[in-house]
Structure 1
Amino acid sequence: MPGKGLTPYQGKGRCFGEYRCKKCNRLWMSANSWANCGQDCTKCNVRVYPHKQTPLEKPDGLDKGDLEKEHPSSLCEKCKQLGRNCRSGRF
């Protein structure tokens, strides 16, 4: 059940999010999803909030964060709020 915020997850840590742009219908997933923070669609450049969020590191391994993969900070609302990459450091 979604929380009262902009996203289903209302915790303090990072989680796994599933996104769908309402403008172009583009789908993507991110292990850098946060409560009440969106990501910008690379195609439309509009802010998109996740429609589904789950804890990281599920047993099947499908939503583990890949720290080798580049995180596009310029598209991440949390990175913009922090003024740095949201994957580095403590929050």
Structure 2
Amino acid sequence: TPVWAIAIERENSGDSVIYAVIGGCLMATTLTPSHPEFVFVFAAVRRADRHPRICMLRTVAGDERSARRSLVRDYVLSLAARLPVVEVSHA
């Protein structure tokens, strides 16, 4: 929703200057994804290794179950962290 569609316009009685009341518009225009994604970090041991070594694996998913599903076939997993995915600005 564009800011102009949310802002309430008010005309000053003394002159023709129009003020836009923007309170709350910044919050209203901040996009919140309906399905947030996270970076899941797991301490993992490869199932096929005879001499297991712990490694750290990262995967992006909407929930822990989906993240585990992508790795569980090859690794024994222990959740180490769940971090929000931060979008990169290309400014």
Place the TM-score, normalised by the shorter chain, in its bin.
0.3 to 0.5
From the two aligned structures, give the one with the greater strand fraction.
2
Flag the structure with higher helix content: 2
TM-score, normalisation: structure 2: 0.35
Larger Rg: 2
